[in-house]
Amino acid sequence: MVIDKIENSKLYAGLSKNIAKAFAYINETDLTSIEAGKYEIDNGDIFAIVMEYDTKDKSEIESHFKYIDIHYIISGVEYMGVTLLKNQIPVIKNAENDYAFYECDTDLIKVEAGMFTIFFPDDIHMPCIKATQISKVKKVVVKIPI
């Protein structure tokens, strides 16, 4: 997993051409005015989900099998629970829809506007958690096939 500021995204573009395309989308799109919804990148092989929501006390603890996630906070602040996938057993696993849910402990990281995280398949994450109080967050999650 990676957590950093968007101005450092060029440091990670070399991980793969698809990660580079995802960061190009984030950096070249006016995300502050874009509507919530799903947007295709690279003929749909990569796609972005723009969302607006209120943070909450707790969320699902999840991982993915087919995609790498880049979570970029456009506005607002949230905590994300994170841990590495070791020997945790999913309580729900849906390979077709690319998710597994877990009941396990996570460490919280604070992610603010202008910051991003990269979650690989071995990274369990719990996004959308309130910081000190419930707040409105606008975020884009870019899904990159492995």
Average pLDDT, the chain: 96
CATH of the domain at 75: 2.60.120.370
What average pLDDT score do residues 29-39 get?
Answer: 97
Is pLDDT of 18 > 90?
A: yes
pTM for the predicted model, two decimal places: 0.95
Three-state DSSP at 18 gives helix
Domain that holds residue 68: 2-145
φ, ψ for residue 105, nearest 5 deg: -80, 145
Note the pLDDT tens digit of each residue in 93-140: 999 999 999 999 999 999 999 999 999 999 999 999 998 888 899 999
Number of domains in the chain: 1
